[in-house]
Amino acid sequence: MKIRLLEAFSRYIAYATTSDENSTSYPSTESQLVFGDFLAEELKQIGLTEVEKDQYGYVTAILPANCSEPNPVIGFIAHFDTSPDMPGIAKPVVVENYNGQDIMLDADSQTALRVADFPELLDYTGQTLLVTDGKTLLGADDKAGIAEIVCAMEYLIQHPEIKHGKLKVGFTPDEEIGQGVLHFDVAKFGCDYAYTVDGGAIGELEYENFNAAAVVIKVQGRNIHPGYAKNKMVNAQLIAMEFNAMLPDFQRPQYTQDYEGFFLLTKMEGCVENSTLHYIIRDHDHAKFESKKQLIKTITQFLNDKYGDRVTCALKDQYYNMRKKIEPVLHVVTHAEEAMRKAGIEPKVIPIRGGTDGANLSFKGLPCPNIFAGGHNFHGKYEYIPLESMIKAVEVIVNIAKQ
């Protein structure tokens, strides 16, 4: 299993599947469709049936039941796009028998995984770590999840003595830009419940996530030659800076944890004539989420009153906390907890400080908690994943599937 997982994961991350939030197509990049074709062919080769890649790039397949007793139809889902935060074509560097020391990723830039910065590395002493070359992200989010699902299905096919009901797998594009299940046909997928394999460290099990919104603030200034600017120039950059300064400092990601929400300035650009600020808003509590959105609107109105209607605000909800949809069917969580304990893992039921396809799927009528894929430090060059955690993820998927 160790060799098979490493081989599958290495092949998957060699494909460029970066999503693009500025694209108007679906999926947002052609490269995702290319990878979808490859993945569909692989599912056929391992023996899954009714393999399909639809017009939107969704790849689905079935592992038929091998027992006569009625069982729920269970789905396993992962996304194949990678974050646009960094280049996404990667080749894993394999660190065998990790010795608990800093890991140099790129000597030229002195980029290293340092224990002082990432003390959880010590939890994996003696294990095999897959790390980056210091120039790209790794792609464990979420190609590790894909590799684990594929290898779990392959294992079940090779071990027919393990009895299970009908299983479905689904792989989605554009999750990283909040569009992962925009066109996903839940009724056609036909599952009673499902699990996204898109979590972090070993043992993580999540059925709560942020409520999320995206915000674009545009400021229209007036550019006048600085020599003649008195009482005429309006510097859009300064108004944008004033806007940002009116948001609470302590509600930034670097100062929050657990259930604490935040405002994150993700991008800023502009000049005297016009400037743009891009934010995301996150909070587990719906009332606090709404309050954060209202603060954005209030600041916009204040600055418009001050400067004369120069600020516009485009605010769009992205997804909501799936806890509301999971709590009435909490057995889907306890089933995953039992599967982890059978694998010798103590479940860590925690809120997701982010979102998954499972959130939107839950609101589409498919209860879909999230289980660990095993990775750390997603979306950047410090991303890594222990191979042993991936093996355990496969074991958990198999245990969930068992009759």
User: Residue holding tokens 């909501």?
Assistant: 320
Catalytic residues: 81, 175
Model confidence at 21: pLDDT above 90? no
User: Residue holding tokens 């009435």?
Assistant: 328
Residue-wise pLDDT for 154-189, tens only, equals 999 999 999 999 999 999 999 998 899 999 999 999
Mean pLDDT calculated for residue range 350-372: 93
Model confidence at 233: pLDDT above 90? yes
Domain 2-209+321-401 and domain 211-319, same fold? Reply is no
Amino acid letter at 115? Answer: V
> Looking at the domain 2-209+321-401, which fold is it?
Aminopeptidase (3.40.630)
Q: Lay out the sheet containing 370-372: strands in order across.
A: 49-53, 59-63, 167-172, 74-79, 193-199, 370-372, 204-206, 348-349
Q: C-alpha angle 177/179/183, rounded to 5°?
A: 165
Model confidence at 346: pLDDT above 90? yes
Specify the pTM.
0.89
Residue-wise pLDDT for 303-313, tens only, equals 999 999 999 99
Spatial distance between the Cα atoms of 330 and 159, rounded to a whole number of angstroms: 30
Spatial distance between the Cα atoms of 257 and 255, rounded to a whole number of angstroms: 7
Which band of pLDDT confidence, cut at 50, 70 and 90, is reported for residue 218? Answer: very high
Q: Are 399 and 366 in contact (CB under 8 A)?
A: no
**Pairing of β 193-199 and β 74-79:** parallel
Sign of CA dihedral 305, 306, 308, 312: negative
Model confidence at 403: pLDDT above 80? no
The pLDDT assigned to 287 comes to 97
Question: Whose CA is closest to 266, among 219, 213, 311?
Answer: 213
User: Residue holding tokens 């294990």?
Assistant: 127
The pLDDT assigned to 69 comes to 84
Q: Are 102 and 127 in contact (CB under 8 A)?
A: no
The pLDDT assigned to 228 comes to 96
Mean pLDDT calculated for residue range 143-164: 97
Element (H, E) at 274: strand 274-283
Mean pLDDT calculated for residue range 222-229: 96
Sign of CA dihedral 21, 27, 29, 34: positive
Q: Are 132 and 380 in contact (CB under 8 A)?
A: no
Which residue ranges make up each domain of the chain?
2-209+321-401, 211-319
Query: What is 211-319's CATH number?
Result: 3.30.70.360
Q: What does the chain come to in residues?
A: 403
Question: Whose CA is closest to 137, among 402, 379, 393, 358?
Answer: 379
Model confidence at 129: pLDDT above 80? yes
Which band of pLDDT confidence, cut at 50, 70 and 90, is reported for residue 262? Answer: very high
The pLDDT assigned to 87 comes to 85
Which band of pLDDT confidence, cut at 50, 70 and 90, is reported for residue 70? Answer: confident
Q: Are 186 and 365 in contact (CB under 8 A)?
A: yes
Rounded to a whole number, what is the distance in angstroms from the first to the last CA of the chain?
22
Percent of the chain whose predicted confidence (pLDDT) is above 70: 100
Q: Are 207 and 334 in contact (CB under 8 A)?
A: no
Mean pLDDT calculated for residue range 352-361: 89
The pLDDT assigned to 356 comes to 84
Q: What does DSSP assign to residue 109?
A: T
Please provide the average confidence, as pLDDT, over all residues in the chain. 96
Q: Exposed (0-12), middle (13-18) or buried (19+): which is 267, by Cβ within 10 Å? A: exposed
User: Residue holding tokens 């259930």?
Assistant: 259
